[in-house]
Structure formats: structure tokens, C-alpha cells
């Protein structure tokens, strides 16, 4: 078996006195889409933010392509290989969509303006909003903004994409279009870690499910397996509750 | 009413107005960068920077301007060990006092740009400095522009306090002319109009900026 793209070893994270991640060890293989789910406050976002060291964990380490994040001399350059998509999009409101997308390729990856813009336009084409390129984020619908944010992350030509509840701030009709863009991405073989409550997406698109609770990974299974017989009581309860709502 | 007193003494009054403008401009020029530093201290994660900044800001904001001006007027020569002149003493009092107010405006401007915007910038591989410069500060500056302009108008009005040490700013000049001409009604009306115009211009500008504020 090939080396994992992301390898997490004995990772613990505290916020002040509160232990948000409790000795997590796991790994993620290139080309797979893994959904991370669990109740609110279980540490899903924290785990995701440790993978690109937006969160400075205190114990353990994360390896990206074998590179230790703790000892990484240039974390910015490592991050420029990892795309991240946020719940509230976090587009830069003072820039056009095109500038949002080209900012990092130009200033973090040293691409020329022309190259960055050409690439940005093909990405916008891909998420179906190329006609919005010269607008500001506030002029777009929520679904369009999130697709623009996905394009911004893809502009890094990332080896890994992190999604933190990308659809939970969206109206139902817009959720569909964002999930479609994510599914296309997974089908193209992108490595994805997705925190989401969209169990339909998880079932249809993901290869594996990680279930977290109280800062720990309680269960990790192949997707089909997870839905047919999750064995931990907490995962079972969680599934019941969330599937009930749908 | 005899409005001709104003025309007669206009050069003297304008000299006073010029003094007020000069005071206010200098105060803003010095207080703003100072406030930027203190604001960064206010939001620092290190408590040995954060607490002194907070104490400074709260001390200044809980005292009347005139007390601070007096205080520095007598304190500064003691600290420096020799008189520095009325103008300098008063200026230092103003700068210190208003830097506290500017600090709070700048702080809330920076904080109005969510933590997540910083994370978004960092996540794409920009450095912290690039993220601040290209993502946070442009938004912060735009968001705090209206409040900054309003504060500048307040500084302009605040400079009237300089009369306590005998500086001839606009209001003090007006007062001196009333002493000579015994025409307080006309002169103070004129002064009020001048202050109103300055204030109105400032708040119109602030309103315009408010419209251009970043929508989030
Ligand atoms: N910056 C922070 N400072 C202090 N505590 C935090 C911080 N961020 C998260 N926490 C706490 O850490 C725990 C885990 O948070 P995290 O955001 O990772 O959970 P989550 O699983 O993503 O939850 P949600 O579904 O609500 O997004 C929570 O109890 C939260 O209150
Ligand atoms: Mg979360």
C-alpha cells in the first residue's frame, strides 16, 4: 500500500484548559473522499484545521506527504497545496470573484496575473459561474459564493481539499448545486476531507466515514458498512437523529 | 446687530481658525499611528501587552479632556526636566488623549474583519503579513472610515480646550474680539456657524463613506 497523503499521529489539541482533540491517530489516502461527521462540538472543525495547521496543536503531529507539520519550516508554502472551503464562504468582500481566486496563486505561488486569471476562468467555468467573474461576492447568491470559494481553493491546484460544513449556511435549493460541484470533484479523483451533515452526499459520494465524538474518533468505516451497521451506540444515535430530520 | 465686526476682524479670526486646523491636523497625524500600535496591543494574545494597552485606553477615556490637558501641561515639564512650551505641552495632552479614542476605533475596525477572513487567507498559503495587508487592513480601513472622520471632527472641536493655556485657536480668538468690540452675539453666532460647517462637512463625508462600507 502507498504512503498516506495525510498521517495524523497522537494528535491532541487544547483550547486553554479544554481538550478539543484527544489523542487522535488516523490517516487519509490520496484519491479518497472521507466524510467526517459527529455532534456539534465533537472537534470536527478542529481536526480539519489541524491538517493545515491553522490550529497549533500541542501534542502529536500531522504529516502531509511525509512532511511533519510541527517541524515544517515554511507552513505557508505547505498550505498552498491544500484547499479549504468554509461554512460561511469567507470570500474577500472587497475584491471581485476573479481577484479572490487569483490572489493566492499570484502572491503565494508566484504565478503571473495572466496565467492566474486564465486558470481562474476555467475553474469558474467548471463550477458554472464564469459569468460572475467580475462581480463582488455580495452580488452573488449563497450557492454561487460557495462555488466561487471552491474555485478559489482549486486555484491552488491542491493535493487535498478540506471542506468544513460547506452547505450548512445555504438554502436547500442552493445546497444541491454546491454538492454537485463537490461530487464532480470527488469523481475526478480529488482527495477530500468533508465535514458535513449531508448524509445523502456522504452515502452517495464518500468512500469512508469518520464519526467523531468528544474529541475522539469513535468509529471509522467504509461508507456502505457505516450506514448498514454502525456498531457504536453514539454513532447509531447520531444517525437516527440525523436521518429522522431528512 | 452689526455684522461688520466680523469683516473688520476677519484676519484675526482666520488666524485663530488656522491655529485650530493646525492643532487638529497635528493631533490626528500623531495620534493615529500611535493608536495603531496601541490597537495592535489591545488585540494581542500576550497579556503583558494587552493589559497595559487596556489600562491606558480606559484611563484616558474615563477622564475629561481638560483634565488630561492640565495634567500633561504640568506633568510633561516635570518628566522632561525643563519647560517645553505651551504649544508642545498642550499638543502632547491632546495626542495622548485622542490616541485612546482612535485606538478603540482601529481596534473595532480590525475586529470587524472576522477571524475567519484571516484563516481563509492563511489557508491559501498567504503569509500572516500578506493576509493582514491584502485582506484584513483594506476591509478594516473601509469599515472604520466613517468613525475616523467623525472622530477627526471631535478632535477639531476638542482643540478649543487649548484656550486654557492661552493658545489663540479659533474660539479663543473670537472671545478676545468680543472683549474689544463688545459684540458677543454676532461673533459667537459666527463661530457657531463655522463649527457647524466644519462638522457638517465631516459628517457628510462620513455618511458617504458609510454607504461605501464593505457589506459582509
Ligand atoms: N477558538 C476556540 N476557543 C475555544 N474553544 C473552542 C475554539 N474552537 C472550538 N472550541 C471548542 O472546541 C470544541 C470543538 O470545537 P469544533 O469547532 O472543532 O467542533 P465541531 O465538531 O466542528 O462542532 P460544530 O458542529 O458545532 O461545528 C467545542 O467544544 C468548541 O466549543
Ligand atoms: Mg465545526
Burial class (CB in 10 A: 0-12, 13-18, 19+), B64: exposed
In a domain, A21, yes or no: no
Measured between alpha carbons, how far is B33 from A47 in angstroms, rounded to an integer?
A: 39
Measured between alpha carbons, how far is A9 from A237 in angstroms, rounded to an integer?
A: 28
ipTM > 0.85 (yes/no): yes
Backbone φ and ψ for A83, nearest 5 degrees, come out as -90, 145
In a domain, A138, yes or no: yes
Q: Shortest Cα distance from A108 to chain B (angstroms)?
A: 5
3-state SS assignment for residue B103: helix
In a domain, A54, yes or no: no
Mind listing the pLDDT tens digit for each residue in A2-43?
A: 689 999 999 999 999 999 999 999 999 999 999 999 999 999
Higher pLDDT, B210 or A83: A83
Residue to mutate among A53, A76, A86, with most B CBs inside 10 A, is A76
Hey, are the CB atoms on A92 and B139 less than 8 Å from each other? yes
Which of A24, A45, A194, A216 should be mutated for ligand 1, with most atoms under 8 A from CB?
A45
What CATH code is carried by the domain that includes residue A103? 3.40.50.300
Q: Which of B125, B130, B135 minimises the CB distance to A156? A: B125
Does the pLDDT of residue A217 top 70, yes or no?
yes
Q: What's the number of domains chain A is made of?
A: 1
Mind listing the pLDDT tens digit for each residue in B151-181?
A: 999 999 998 988 888 888 999 999 999 999 9
In a domain, A197, yes or no: yes
The distance from CA B1 to its chain's CA centroid, rounded to whole angstroms, is 36
The C-alpha cell of A210 is what? 469518520
Give me the residue label for grid cell 482533540: A21
Nearest CA to ligand 1 atom 22: A45
Maximum mean pLDDT: which of A220-234, B115-129, B153-167 = B115-129
B114-134: average pLDDT = 93
In a domain, A222, yes or no: yes
Query: Closest chain B residue to A157 measured between Cα atoms?
Result: B124
Provide the residue range defining the domain that includes A82. Answer: 30-45+75-242
pLDDT score recorded for residue B76: 80
In a domain, A174, yes or no: yes
In a domain, A5, yes or no: no
pLDDT score recorded for residue A1: 54
Measured between alpha carbons, how far is B94 from B102 in angstroms, rounded to an integer?
A: 12
Q: Which residues of A touch B214 (CB under 8 A)?
A: 93-94
Domains in chain B, CATH or no CATH each? 4-215 (1.10.3720.10)
Nearest CA to ligand 1 atom 30: A41
Does the pLDDT of residue B73 top 90, yes or no?
no
Burial B83-103 (b: 16+ CB within 10 A, else e): eeeeeebbbbbbbbbbbbbbb
In a domain, A65, yes or no: no
Higher pLDDT, A59 or A243: A59
Q: Quote the DSSP letter at residue A30.
A: T
pLDDT score recorded for residue B79: 85
Amino acid at each position: 500500500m502507498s504512503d498516506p497523503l495525510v498521517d495524523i499521529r497522537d494528535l491532541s489539541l487544547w483550547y486553554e484548559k479544554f481538550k478539543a482533540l484527544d489523542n487522535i491517530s488516523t490517516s487519509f489516502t490520496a484519491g479518497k473522499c472521507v466524510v467526517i461527521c459527529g455532534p456539534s462540538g465533537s472537534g470536527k472543525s478542529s481536526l480539519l484545521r489541524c491538517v493545515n495547521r491553522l490550529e497549533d496543536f500541542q501534542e502529536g503531529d500531522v504529516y502531509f506527504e511525509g512532511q511533519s507539520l510541527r517541524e515544517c519550516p515554511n507552513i505557508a508554502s505547505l498550505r498552498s497545496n491544500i484547499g479549504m472551503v468554509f461554512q460561511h464562504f469567507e470570500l474577500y468582500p472587497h475584491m471581485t470573484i476573479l481577484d479572490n481566486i487569483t490572489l493566492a496563486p499570484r502572491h503565494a505561488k508566484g504565478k503571473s496575473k495572466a496565467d492566474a486569471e486564465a486558470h481562474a476562468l476555467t475553474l469558474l467555468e467548471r463550477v458554472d459561474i464564469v459569468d460572475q467573474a467580475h462581480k463582488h461576492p455580495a452580488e452573488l447568491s449563497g450557492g454561487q459564493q460557495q462555488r466561487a470559494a471552491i474555485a478559489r481553493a482549486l486555484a491552488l491546484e491542491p493535493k487535498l481539499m478540506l471542506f468544513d460544513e460547506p452547505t450548512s449556511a445555504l438554502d436547500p435549493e442552493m445546497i444541491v448545486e454546491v454538492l454537485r460541484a463537490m461530487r464532480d470533484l470527488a469523481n475526478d479523483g480529488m482527495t477530500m476531507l468533508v465535514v458535513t451533515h449531508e448524509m445523502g452526499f456522504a452515502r452517495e459520494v464518500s468512500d469512508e466515514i469518520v464519526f467523531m465524538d468528544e474529541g475522539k474518533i469513535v468509529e471509522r468505516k467504509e461508507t456502505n458498512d457505516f450506514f448498514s451497521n454502525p456498531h457504536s451506540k453514539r454513532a447509531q444515535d447520531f444517525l437516527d437523529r440525523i436521518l429522522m430530520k431528512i | 446687530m452689526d455684522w461688520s465686526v466680523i469683516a473688520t476682524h476677519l484676519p484675526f479670526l482666520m488666524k485663530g481658525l488656522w491655529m485650530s486646523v493646525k492643532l487638529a491636523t497635528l493631533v490626528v497625524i500623531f495620534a493615529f499611528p500611535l493608536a495603531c500600535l496601541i490597537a495592535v496591543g489591545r488585540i494581542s494574545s500576550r497579556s503583558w501587552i494587552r493589559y497595559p494597552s487596556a489600562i491606558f485606553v480606559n484611563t484616558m477615556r474615563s477622564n475629561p479632556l481638560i483634565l488630561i490637558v492640565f495634567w500633561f501641561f504640568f506633568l510633561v515639564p516635570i518628566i522632561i526636566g525643563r519647560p517645553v512650551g505651551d504649544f508642545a505641552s498642550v499638543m502632547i495632552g491632546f495626542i495622548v488623549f485622542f490616541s485612546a479614542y482612535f485606538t478603540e476605533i482601529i481596534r473595532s475596525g480590525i475586529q470587524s474583519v472576522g477571524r475567519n477572513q484571516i484563516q481563509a487567507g492563511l489557508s491559501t498559503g498567504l503569509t500572516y503579513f500578506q493576509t493582514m495587508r491584502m485582506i484584513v487592513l483594506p476591509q478594516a480601513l473601509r469599515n472604520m472610515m466613517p468613525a475616523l472622520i467623525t472622530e477627526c471632527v471631535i478632535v477639531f472641536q476638542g482643540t478649543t480646550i487649548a484656550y486654557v493655556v492661552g493658545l489663540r485657536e479659533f474660539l479663543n480668538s473670537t472671545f478676545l474680539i468680543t472683549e474689544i468690540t463688545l459684540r458677543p452675539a454676532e461673533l459667537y453666532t459666527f463661530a457657531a456657524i463655522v463649527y457647524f460647517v466644519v462638522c457638517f462637512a465631516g459628517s457628510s463625508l462620513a455618511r458617504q463613506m458609510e454607504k461605501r462600507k464593505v457589506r459582509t
